A and B are shown apart, each in its own frame.
Chain A
Amino acid sequence: MSIRNDTVARQVTPAYDVARIRHDFPALHQEIHGKPLVYLDNGASAQKPRAVIDAISEFYAHDYANVHRAVHTLGERATQTYEAAREKARHFINARSPEEIIFVRGTTEAINLVAQSYGRNTLRAGDEVILTQMEHHSNIVPWQLLREQTGIVLRVVPIDDSGELILDELEKLFNRRTRLLTLTHLSNALGTINPVHRIIEMAHARNVLVLLDAAQAVPHLSVDMQALDCDFYAFSGHKLYGPSGIGVLYGKKDLLAAMPPYQGGGEMIRYVTFEKTEYADLPCKFEAGTPNIAGAVGLGAAIDYVSGIGLAAIAAHEQDLLAYATDRAAEVAGMRIVGTAREKASILSFELAGIHPHDIGTILDSEGIAIRAGHHCAMPVMRRFGVPATARASFGMYNTRDEIDALIAALHRAREVIR
């Protein structure tokens, strides 16, 4: 997956029909301020293919009803479609069983679920949770809330100047009170791909559970829960070309089975009296209330779409884009790339000397180019690199080298505007 694997990537590229893929995404075909849209904010959220948009509207037009409750035909159809989406998600990450796939609102809710259900029930004052300096706020704050509730101790793995985790430091943080290691699979602020296989081995050798925040990883790297053997895996539909408001928490079945419910309500019970309530089996135990049914259907369609093209082909295409963008960025005066890990994917975070990222964002927008400017919900990363914010171009399956040329030209223009 190294960006230096340039030649490999290019051999794969010709078979990859980016024009056809672009054709499938209606939102890409518009002008912004009179210029063709160049959408390079995929790290924040990706655009949706027609297949996803259609699946959602078809579902509402023909198959919609509440799930798991009705004896009528539509209820049955809706339930089948919803459960088929769960099966697609299971297959996509190669989980053992659909009971290990919990539908949630997104990565944020998945992590909060683990913190409040597993964490609150199992961790005691003085128990330790390890996280890293490159975490998104959504993998920091839930653990701080848990710390206030239970008195757990949080330990932070530092990162080096290239944006890689310092594994020797991680090694030192393990002790007999360590219970959980929670980290991002792919950093949204730096693009670093963490060596999760090795890290999971390190943790499991000490009986420490591992949660991976895969919000960024899932659209770019193919994963296999059974091979990876992580304990929890969290991702969002909207970065995977699916709808917002739907995501997945994968958890190993024995862990999920032992965890108390996260929320109470309908759908998650078997039997209720005022004295006692018996909870439903997995996965319903964690899906209280009417879920985002159409969202799950849309996510299923997104998974079908991505699988149809193939994550390996998508990854190779994106590696080519990242390598090309990294090379071309060097032409821009005052460019400093933030995040130069050996293993990277899809994200080019940078600053331009003398131009604030917000000004870059506005100037690029006037050229029709959408990037992100800010701290990327990773303020500790910004502090680590001594910047208040960075500009970030993040690539998706439909981006092209021409779009990167447009980006570079617009960065030169930013230099002219901010004199």
Chain B
Amino acid sequence: MSDLRDLYEEVILDHNRSPRNFLKKPEGTNHQAYGFNPLCGDEFRVYLAVEDGIVKDVGFDGAGCAISTASASLMTEAVKGKSLEQAHALFEDVHKLLTQRAESSDLGKLAVLSGVHAYPMRVKCATLAWHTLQAALENRQGETVTTE
């Protein structure tokens, strides 16, 4: 195992302490999804206000560990302003980063999530919000998204 600090990066701790776009359901929300990790009970709801194929605004609520909360918070920052296709692509890139540690060029701030790869038991914590995002992009309401 690598150093704990690679997992609990400054940026991750900061987003855990004060998650962005948290407890917020944007005006004009027309896409949403619910994600739940049955192993630990973490759950998040992701809300998107999509206009002309662009994610105009985004918010989330729920509860989880530092990794899942920070990952959700970072996710909301990253998808705001993206087209649905770009957001889908971002999901794919982050998923690869977390499960295969394949770093794609321009993940920017999201690169802090790369430390999670060294902790296989925690990968699902980090992917939960992203799976939920993917479901929200497809507006799969009424379904519970899991990381299984």
Contacts and interface: CB of A to CB of B under 8 A. Distances in A.
Nearest to B64: A356
Contacts of B77: none
Interface string A371-395: 0011100010010000011000000
B39 A374 contact: yes
A362 B64 CA distance: 14
Interface in B44-65: 63-65
B21 interface: no
Interface in A21-71: 33
6 contacts: A358-B65, A359-B66, A359-B67, A362-B4, A366-B4, A373-B40
Contacts of A356: 42, 64-66, 69
A417 B41 contact: no
B122 A419 contact: no
Given A362-B122, A389-B40, A419 B7 contact: no
Q: Which of A357, A373, A389 has the most CB of B within 10 A?
A: A389
Interface string B27-45: 0000000000001111100
Contact of B41 (A362, A389, A419): A389
B93 to A, nearest CB: 24
B126 to A, nearest CB: 11
Contact of A374 (B7, B40, B122): B40
A359 B125 CA distance: 10
B37 to A, nearest CB: 9
A280 B56 CA distance: 71
B1 A418 contact: no
A418 B40 contact: no
Contacts of B17: 419
B13 A382 contact: no
Interface of B: 1, 4, 7-8, 13, 16-17, 39-43, 63-67, 69, 119, 121-122, 125
A306 interface: no
Q: Which of A355, A356, A382, A388 has the most CB of B within 10 A?
A: A356
Nearest to B125: A358
A357 B43 CA distance: 14
Contacts of B42: 356, 358, 388
Interface residues of A, number: 20
Contact of A358 (B1, B4, B43, B122): B122
Contacts of A388: 40-43, 63-64
Nearest to A34: B1
Nearest to A373: B40
Nearest to B63: A388
Given A374-B41, A388-B41, A389-B40, 6 more contacts: A356-B64, A359-B8, A362-B121, A375-B41, A388-B63, A418-B8
Q: Which of B8, B65, B67 has the most CB of A within 10 A?
A: B65
Contacts of B65: 356-359
A365 to B, nearest CB: 8
Contacts, number: 52
A366 B1 contact: yes
Contacts of B125: 358
Q: Which of A33, A379, A419 has the most CB of B within 10 A?
A: A419
A419 B16 CA distance: 9
A355 B122 CA distance: 15
A33 B3 CA distance: 10
A365 B64 CA distance: 19
Contacts of B39: 374
A379 B40 CA distance: 10
A33 B1 contact: yes
Contacts of A78: none
B120 to A, nearest CB: 11
B2 to A, nearest CB: 10
Contacts of A417: 4, 8
Going nearest first, the 9 A-B pairs with the smallest beta carbon separation are A356-B65, A388-B41, A358-B65, A359-B66, A389-B41, A359-B65, A366-B4, A358-B40, A375-B41
Interface string A399-419: 000000000000000000111
A357 B125 CA distance: 12
A217 interface: no
Given A356-B66, A419-B13, A363 B4 contact: yes
Given A418-B66, A419-B13, A362 B7 contact: yes
Contacts of B66: 355-356, 359, 418
Contacts of B41: 374-375, 379, 382, 388-389
Nearest to B119: A362
Contacts of B16: 418
Contacts of A419: 13, 17
Contacts of A375: 40-41
B26 to A, nearest CB: 25
Q: Which of A358, A382, A388 has the most CB of B within 10 A?
A: A358
A78 B42 CA distance: 48
Interface in A341-366: 355-359, 362-363, 365-366
